[in-house]
Structure 1
Amino acid sequence: MSNLPENPRYWLMKSEPFKYGWDDLVAEKEGTWDGVRNYRARNNLAAMRVGEQAFFYHSREGLEIVGICEISVADILDPTDETGKWAAVKVVPKTKLPKPVTLKQIKAEPSLADCELVTLSRLSVAEITPEEWSIICGMAGI
């Protein structure tokens, strides 16, 4: 039985691997996605529900989706924020992608031209449509 909520939304979360990479999340078993200081990214974090899934994207180094994580705790305040206005979630690793999907591959796929990873390239937490999710999973070999 799936942990996905009814009508799940899908996400992409960026992290610089030298600061916090996929292997760090796997070692930690559950990580807090905090430190986001962009209003749209904050709103995306606040919209997440337990059981929804997100691509884990290595930014700056690699520029590729390397895994899938799942929201384990939603709707929490960012523990790094003293003002109380920034959101955070907790995530657990689910699947390392058999084949990482690079930004270059995503940009080369016409059906992903409207993907927020492409159109809002500086956004650290983006929404991914179900169709985009399916295409990217196919590109990854899952």
Structure 2
Amino acid sequence: MKKPPQNYWLMKSEPDSFSIADLSKRLHQTEHWDGVRNYQARNMMRDDMKVGDQIFFYHSNCDVPGIVGIMEVVKEGYPDFSAFDPDDHHFDPKSDAANPRWIMVDVKYVKTLSRTITLRELKAKTELTDLALVRRGNRLSIMPISQQHWDFILALE
């Protein structure tokens, strides 16, 4: 029997870079979530994300930003190898394989939502006023979601 997730998350990606459709087409529908270059987000991936955690996939920086799907953590934080590759656009010359600066997790596609739950719609819901995503100035690419917010957002689909 599968145990319930320990945590709920939201992870952002620009659909032109990597979309829910891209994830659904990957071999085994699994991919590493690399390129996170924010210390707070890195710390959450390193310290808090656990196998089985559920994640909202959020398309950002596009015509209609919003939640488009669900993923699951299938491998906990490990060094982000893109930071060590000078040919990769996520290369960080200050990162060292012996003492890695950046972390990634592996995620697996769960489903594409039947519709995009837009940022505009989320901002209009008084039940979500304390959700980090709808707070002004929030730029984190990874954020925790309470189970209460998770359940409420899923009910919007």
**Same fold at TM > 0.5:** yes
Q: Indicate which of 122, 129, 134 corresponds to 2:146.
A: 129
Asked if 1:11 is matched to 2:48, the reply is no
Encode CA deviations 1:9-54: one digit per residue, 9 max, x unaligned: 1000000000100010001111111101111111121110001110
Q: In structure 1, list runs of 5 or more residues that go unmatched.
A: none
- Return structure 1 stretches of 4+ with deviation > 3 angstroms: none
Per-residue deviation, residues 104-134 of structure 1 (Å, max 9, x unmatched): 0110001111111112531100110111101
Offset at residue 2 of structure 1 (A): 2.8
* Structure 2 alignment gaps of length 5 or more: 85-94
1:101 to 103, 117, 120: 117
Once the two structures are superposed, the pairs formed by residues 1-142 of structure 1 within 5 Å of their partners are 1-5=1-5, 8-28=6-26, 29-46=29-46, 47-61=48-62, 62-82=64-84, 83=95, 84-119=100-135, 121-140=138-157
Q: CA deviation at 1:4?
A: 3.2
RMSD of equivalent CA atoms: 1.2
Whole-angstrom distance in 1 between the partners of 2:3 and 2:102:
26
1:44-90 deviation per Cα after TM superposition (whole angstroms, max 9, x unaligned): 21110001110000001120100000001112111112311111000
TM (norm. structure 1) is: 0.92
Between the aligned partners of 1:113 and 1:80, the Cα distance in structure 2 is 36
**Cα distance in 2 between the residues matched to 1:117 and 1:44:** 16
Counting matched residue pairs gives 138
Q: CA deviation at 1:3?
A: 4.5
Q: If you compute each CA radius of gyration, which structure gives the higher value, 1 or 2? A: 2
Counting aligned pairs with the same residue, the percent is: 40
Match of 2:88 in 1: none
d(CA) in 2 for partners of 1:13, 1:63: 12
